[in-house]
Structure 1
Amino acid sequence: MDAARRAAQGVVTARAERRALADVITAPAEVVINLYRSAQVTPRIAAQVIARHARLGDSVTTGQPLVTLSSVEMAEAQGQLLVADREWKRVRKLGRKVVSERRYIEAQVTRQQAWARVLAYGMTRAQIKALLAEGDASRATGSFDLISPQDGTVISDNFIVGELAEPGTVLFEISDESVLWVEAKLNPEDAGRVAIGAPARIKAGDGGWLQGKVVQRHHRLDETTRTQAIRIEVDNRDDRLHPGQFVEAAIQSGKAAPVVAVPTGAVVLFQGSPTVFKVEGDELHPQPVETGVTRAGYTEIKAGLAEGEEIVVKGAFLIKSLLLKSQMGEGHAH
């Protein structure tokens, strides 16, 4: 079977390589949000919700207004800032030669304190500058926007327009889901064999596997199951994983020396022996091999195949069936 016929039949070949087939621990796991890439949006003072600008599932960017609030405390603070700013501008214009040193410093400090107060209450610097640019006391309405502190997705927005939100009430939760955590629960003995930085694979809901790495190990055991959680960081830019989803984790433990290994699907049982199909020119020949461990989709070849030899890695069962038919006089495999 030449290269053109192999390609037409979907047969793929590759050269045997050396790989480190370390022990793999499999365990059930759960996808959770990456707390280091998440933030809560809360009011710092009691305020009424006036308008919503984002909803559950929306993608938001840093600085984007999420909700408009109104507060009596903020109105008072805004009014004091406008008065203090006007006084400071007047004193500064007159200069130190006209006004006393005491009045000059008091006006400056009062303005700074008023600025700090509205900033602490929840207004941004841009909102404060816009308020002062207008300089109109009637603009001290107590209205202000809470903005997104980061890029991400709205994963929670538990409030309604018109409600009175107390300080610390979580109005929004924003999370960057491009990198998620997967927490696998292992018995303490297995967890102790897993190193920080160890590679891991996560089986997604679509049946495919995602690559990840161990980033942390919990130091407290689960009080109910007596298991120890291992935290795996996974690149989720394709949005294949979602917080709360149950998955399977395969975590590498320990180290292993590289061995000759081939994709597990390249090895078939032929005439009672594990066999691969070697490429020799335009022909494929069965080659009995001695196999070792199988890890993460690869099987160790202890004997019968050398590094660099080309074999069928996809379509081995097809070649096997063609060869069996050939032996029965019904066709030819080469």
Structure 2
Amino acid sequence: MSSSKNIFIISVCGGVLLGALLGVYIIAPQTTSAISSTAGDSPPEPLYWVAPMDPDFRRAAPGKSPMGMDLLPVYADSSANKNSPGTVTIAADVINNLGVRTAQARYGEFTQTITAPATIQFNEDQLQRVQPRVEGWVQKLYAHAEGDTVTAGEPLYTLYSPALVTAQEQFLMALERNNQELSMSAEQRLLNLEIAPSIINEIKRTRTALHSITLLAPRSGVLSELNIREGDYVAPGKAIATIATLDSVWAIADIIGGQSSSIAIGDQASLSIDGIPNRTWSAAVEYIYPTLSEVNRSQRLRLKIDNDTRILKPNMFARVNLTQQANTKSVIIPKEAVIRSSEQNRVVLALGNGRFKAVAVKTGKFNDREAEIIHGIEANDEVVVSAQFLLDSESSKDSDFIRMNHSNAPSAKVTP
């Protein structure tokens, strides 16, 4: 009985040991194969590492950002790029509530428009000074005030001058002697003293010297200056009047700031007057003054404006719009899409599917509607043109959008 019991116990133990050995033989290879298979699927390698608070700070290896934070990896696959630092995701209804609008960046030639105040002035190229060539006294003045209109060939003032009387008498003596050479010389002297040919012919006909000579206006226009009155004594070298014309006028524009560096002679411009609606005048930059204004340190430009209708008057205030066409093409976006700061300029990109990201850009020129982008985004990128300040704030902080959401909307998510 005892021996049979021992035999049974030995048999059971042998079976258990044999089963354990078979289990090791069968199961162990399967486990080893699973482990080796798992080890073969290595994780993807990051393209680069970025700072959590500044996606533009990139490094080829892990490390610390300038703020002491651990750098985050950016992967090549689309799912990793979706979770790049600074990308925020918002629900569609929240986008609608925020009034987010976007526009597409385009590639083309940037047109810059510079607006500057201007003042209308007389065209100084057409000013003519009136100066007597002999001394004498003004007996009669036919134009009485600045702004009076004068016509070429009509009387301007009457002068009594002993020197003119003497010149006439010498001319009459030459005529009496019938000396042709002397007569021509005396007549030329009267012409040089601005005696009109009609008056010289009258002296020839009457053979009498005139005690008072009427001097005529040399050209048509308006008197911009009048420095004499009846009874005044005048002499050579003293300007008694200035005659200006209104056929054309000058517009003197003041360019404030650093915009003047890109302006060149020949640039096209348009001029408008606030008091004259629906009317503009075309002109080109004729002259750039070599010195700045002493009052506001502005750069002064001169434009010549045709004024056949005489509607433009000196001392009018005007507005000049200078248009400059770029020689090269660049990326152009709406001006309101650019978020300006003292440190850098940024633009919020719409990545699709409710995802947005703020990126730093290098800007060029600005006009009243558009901005030139030199670096940072590409053509056909979608940029945010409204609510971009809020999106930029959240993208920069990598925070969530819960505070912008209503109670029934799903929580907005910021991916780290």
Length-normalised TM-score, structure 1: 0.59
Letter in 1 for 2:182: T
Matching residue within 233, 256, 262 for 2:304: 233
Q: Which residue of 2 aligns with 1:66?
A: 156
Aligned residues: 224
Q: Give the Cα–Cα distance (whole angstroms) in 1 for the partners of residues 165 and 136 of structure 2.
A: 11
Name the SS of the counterpart of 1:220 in structure 2.
Answer: strand
Amino acid at match of 1:161: E
CA distance in 1, matches of 2:257, 2:188: 50
Q: Which 5+ residue runs of structure 2 have no aligned equivalent? A: 1-108, 329-365, 370-378, 381-416
Q: Secondary structure at the match of 1:195?
A: coil
Counterpart of 2:264 (choices 169, 191, 195) is 195
Q: Of the candidates 269, 287, 290, which is equivalent to residue 219 of structure 1?
A: 290
Cα separation, 1, equivalents of 2:327 and 2:296: 31
Q: 1:70 to 1:255 in 2, by over 3 A?
A: farther
Question: SS at the partner of 1:215?
Answer: strand
3-state SS of paired residue (2:230): coil
Q: What's the % identity of the aligned pairs?
A: 26
Question: After superposition, where does 1:155-194 map in structure 2 within 5 Å?
Answer: 155-186=224-255, 189-194=258-263
Secondary structure of residue in 2 paired with 1:218? strand
Q: Secondary structure at the match of 1:219?
A: strand
Cα RMSD (Å): 3.0
Counterpart in 2 of 1:29?
Answer: 118
Q: 1:133 aligns to what SS in structure 2? A: helix
Tell me, in whole angstroms, the C-alpha distance in 2 between the residues paired with 1:131 and 1:21.
Answer: 70
Per the TM alignment, residue 59 of structure 1 is displaced from its structure 2 partner at its CA by: 2.7
Aligned: 1:41 with 2:130: yes
CA contact (8 A) 1:25 1:251 kept: yes
In the alignment, structure 1 residue 134 sits paired with structure 2 residue 203: no
- Kindly indicate whether structure 1 or structure 2 has the higher relative contact order, using CA contacts under 8 Å at least 6 residues apart: 1
Partner of 2:213: 144
Whole-angstrom distance in 1 between the partners of 2:316 and 2:160: 38
Q: Rg bigger for which structure?
A: 2
- Secondary structure at 1:50's aligned position in 2? strand
- Preserved CA contact (<8 Å) 1:65 1:147: yes
The amino acid of 1:46's aligned partner reads E
Structure 1 residues 249-287: Cα deviation after superposition (integer angstroms, max 9, x where no partner): 222234579xxxxxxxxxxxxxxxxxxxxxxxxxxxxxx
- Structure 1, gaps ≥5 residues long: 1-19, 90-106, 258-291, 296-301, 304-334
Inter-CA distance 252–85: structure 2 relative to 1 (3 Å threshold): farther
Pairwise CA distance, 1:21: 7.9
Contact 2:272–2:281, Cα closer than 8 Å, also in 1: no
Q: CA deviation at 1:73?
A: 0.6
- Indicate the residue corresponding to 1:244 in structure 2: 315
Quick one: which amino acid aligns to residue 210 of structure 2? A
3-state SS of the aligned residue for 1:110? helix
Distance 1:135-1:237 versus aligned 2 partners, 3 A rule: same
> How far apart are residue 151 of structure 1 and its match?
2.0
Residue 54 of structure 1: aligned partner: 143
Does the CA-based 8 Å contact 1:41-1:146 persist in structure 2?
no
Question: 1: distance between equivalents of 2:275 and 2:126?
Answer: 25
8 Å CA contact 2:111, 2:367 repeated in 1: no
| Partner residue of 1:206 out of 258, 262, 275 | 275
In 2, the alpha carbon distance for the partners of 1:190 and 1:163 equals 50
Aligned-pair CA distance for 1:127: 2.0
Cα distance change on mapping 1:126 and 1:193 into 2, 3 Å: farther
**Equivalent residues of 1:30, 1:247 under 8 A apart:** yes
More deviation, 233-242/71-80? 233-242
Does the CA-based 8 Å contact 2:118-2:319 persist in structure 1? yes
Could you tell me how far 1:293 is from its partner in structure 2? 6.5
Partner secondary structure for residue 239 of structure 1: coil
1:122–1:144 Cα contact (<8 Å) kept: no
TM-score normalised per structure 2: 0.48
Contact 2:257–2:298 at 8 Å: present in 1 too?
A: yes
Deviation at 1:203, TM superposition (A): 2.9
Q: Is the 8 A contact 2:110 2:325 kept in 1?
A: no
Counterparts of 2:267 and 2:116, CA distance in 1? 15
Equivalent residue in structure 1 for 2:182, among 92, 96, 110: 110
Partner of 1:279: none
